[in-house]
A and B are shown apart, each in its own frame.
Chain A
Amino acid sequence: GENVEQHPSTLSVQEGDSAVIKCTYSDSASNYFPWYKQELGKRPQLIIDIRSNVGEKKDQRIAVTLNKTAKHFSLHITETQPEDSAVYFCAASIDFGNEKLTFGTGTRLTIIP
């Protein structure tokens, strides 16, 4: 089955700096890669996703890049703000095959004011 590894497990950045979180996956058939943000005690919220026919996707301060050959994808947050502090999870699945999301182990991002 699919295995998703996520690094780093914790990340602290100064407010205004950029943060990058990286994930690798094992199943070359995976073609859907969402990122979720989870604040303490709250539900995971989808913040951005990408499909394998696209190499990069951007939404304001958040971007995701995908390298299918290397089987890795990354989340980039620019101009970080205190409200970006949360745990971020990457995930992978196969559209119209096995849609179950396999999640990474999470990255605790702390923005230092």
Chain B
Amino acid sequence: EAGVAQSPRYKIIEKRQSVAFWCNPISGHATLYWYQQILGQGPKLLIQFQNNGVVDDSQLPKDRFSAERLKGVDSTLKIQPAKLEDSAVYLCASSSDRAQPQHFGDGTRLSIL
């Protein structure tokens, strides 16, 4: 089966600019996750969707980060405005349902200048 697709792979922006990431989960997977992975650390969950509803966004910095999953398939994660500390790899993962193994995409490496 095709894996989780993410784009772009790399993005370089200046602080205070905005950026958006896209994720297409494995076909049929109802649950979608966005993680932030800072260099040298493990991934940290930002937001979890079940179909097109939010299950957990407790660690999402809502003053600058937003995410949506219209129609319960693709998802976008946006940062506006970006800060230097947002430099990280943003990983999308999906699972067929809650309590099923999560499969990750290759991520988007974001660099803030």
Contacts and interface: CB of A to CB of B under 8 A. Distances in A.
Interface of A: 4, 6, 32, 34, 36, 42-46, 49, 89, 91, 95-96, 98-106
A106 B89 CA distance: 15
Contacts of B21: none
A20 to B, nearest CB: 19
Given A43-B91, A43-B106, A43-B107, A106 B41 contact: yes
19 contacts: A34-B101, A34-B102, A36-B104, A42-B106, A43-B3, A43-B91, A43-B106, A44-B91, A44-B104, A45-B104, A46-B102, A89-B43, A96-B98, A100-B33, A100-B48, A104-B42, A105-B40, A106-B40, A106-B41
A91 B91 CA distance: 15
B43 A103 contact: yes
B37 to A, nearest CB: 8
B105 interface: yes
Contact of B99 (A89, A91, A96): A96
A103 B44 contact: yes
A63 to B, nearest CB: 17
Given A44-B104, A101-B43, 12 more contacts: A32-B99, A42-B106, A43-B3, A43-B105, A43-B106, A99-B48, A99-B98, A100-B56, A101-B102, A104-B42, A106-B40, A106-B42
When A and B form their complex, which 9 residue pairs have the shortest distance between CB atoms, in order from nearest? A103-B42, A95-B99, A100-B45, A43-B104, A43-B106, A44-B104, A89-B42, A99-B98, A103-B43
Contacts of A32: 99
Interface string B1-43: 0011000000000000000000000000001010000001111
A105 B48 contact: no
A45 B105 CA distance: 9
Nearest to B44: A103
A45 B93 CA distance: 11
Contacts of A89: 42-43
B83 interface: no
